[in-house]
Amino acid sequence: MHVTEFRDRFAYIKRETERVLLGQEEIVGSTLLAILAGGHVLIEGVPGLGKTLLVRTLAHVLGCTFRRIQFTPDLMPSDVTGGNVFNPKEDRFVFHQGPVFTQLLLADEINRAPAKTQSALLEAMQDLAVTTDGVTRALPQPFFVIATQNPIESQGTYPLPEAQLDRFLMKLHVKHPPPAVEKIILRNHAQGFQPAHLESMQLAKAASAEDIMAMRHALYSVRVDDGVLEYITEIVNKSRTHRSVYLGASPRGSIGLLSAARAHAATEGRDFVVPDDVKALAGPVLRHRVILHPDAEIEGISTDDCVEEILREAKVPRTAA
């Protein structure tokens, strides 16, 4: 698949998804970009902003198998991965697959389950496999997780472990739609739109699992010059030495920024990465990988503030097309 075909297919998928998700163009685009870059997405926002609707719409448009896990405080790891159940007819234990055995997994309100259950996704997200009772089973391809969470200040939530946060390629913030868009949403509901019945929208199946794998493979042809690699390295290293940062991004963050920049270049129809591709995605890729000093948090400094300052200080390389 050539990058121009990649760009056109990406635009088609995004356009179909935005027929349902009004006023959330940035979230839709970033989520799609992360999926095609081979990563997982954590979406944070207060209830009622369409996070779950986004994932259900993507499952339809992308033509992927879809399962949903509603995370609750009493959810057990086996409820995610599955487990062995004794079959008296066969006189043996038989493995019953959990909902993680799908292509698109919605981990809804992931921060409402304790760390033990959240960690059940770690192996699946990193190694694309699940190990139970000493047996490792591969997950379907492509496999990607889109997790939603309410802000940490909400009642009855648990902060995600740093190891799990690092497995997400991007963390995205959903904002309220502007009044003009909200009025259109109200008009659509007044005319009978039901989010539970997406088939009424007659959405096109804009891609298939095979198309997604082909688009992911196409990104390997996107060229990355040494200057851009140095730029990414400098940004991530500055995240570790910034005065407000207690712990900076890991090498997984560098790799994630590289993958996301490649995907961004392809969506623009280019077969080479430029510094602007890196700049555009540094915030979503790094914001959840940076831990601030307590003093910085007291002063009201955010991780996004730190990333923006790092981008201003990092030396932008010259690249040749």
Per-residue pLDDT of the chain (321 residues; tens, 9 = 90+): 788 899 999 999 999 999 888 888 899 999 999 999 999 999 988 888 888 888 889 988 998 999 999 998 889 988 999 888 888 888 888 888 999 999 999 999 888 888 888 888 888 998 999 988 888 999 999 999 999 988 765 666 777 888 888 999 999 998 888 899 899 989 988 988 887 777 777 888 999 999 999 999 999 999 999 999 999 999 999 999 999 989 899 999 999 999 999 999 999 999 999 999 999 999 999 999 999 999 988 888 999 999 999 999 999 987 655
Residue 99: cis peptide before it, omega within 30 degrees of 0? no
Whole-number pLDDT of residue 1: 79
C-alpha span between 228 and 235 (Å, rounded): 11
Q: DSSP of 174-233, one letter per residue?
A: --PPPHHHHHHHHHHHHTT--TT-GGGG-------HHHHHHHHHHGGGSB--HHHHHHHH
Whole-number pLDDT of residue 52: 86
Cα dihedral 37→144→146→122 (10° resolution):
-110
Quote the tokens at residue 135.
């047996």
CB 146 within 8 A of CB 41: yes
Whole-number pLDDT of residue 168: 95
Whole-number pLDDT of residue 235: 96
What's the pTM? Answer: 0.90
Whole-number pLDDT of residue 202: 82
For residue 301, what is the DSSP state? -
* Domain ranges across the chain: 3-215, 222-313
Whole-number pLDDT of residue 320: 53
pLDDT by residue (tens digit) across 50-69? 888 888 899 889 989 999 99
Question: Which residue reads 């009772």 in tokens?
Answer: 133
Whole-number pLDDT of residue 61: 93
Tell me the sheet residues that pair with 170: 41
CB 265 within 8 A of CB 313: no
Assigned CATH topology for domain 3-215: Rossmann fold (3.40.50)
Please measure the distance between the N-terminal and C-terminal CA atoms of the chain and give it in whole angstroms. Answer: 20
Torsion sign, CA atoms 298, 302, 305, 306? positive
Assigned CATH topology for domain 222-313: Helicase, Ruva Protein; domain 3 (1.10.8)
pLDDT by residue (tens digit) across 136-190? 999 999 999 999 988 765 666 777 888 888 999 999 998 888 899 899 989 988 9
Q: Are strands 291-292 and 245-247 parallel, antiparallel or unpaired?
A: antiparallel
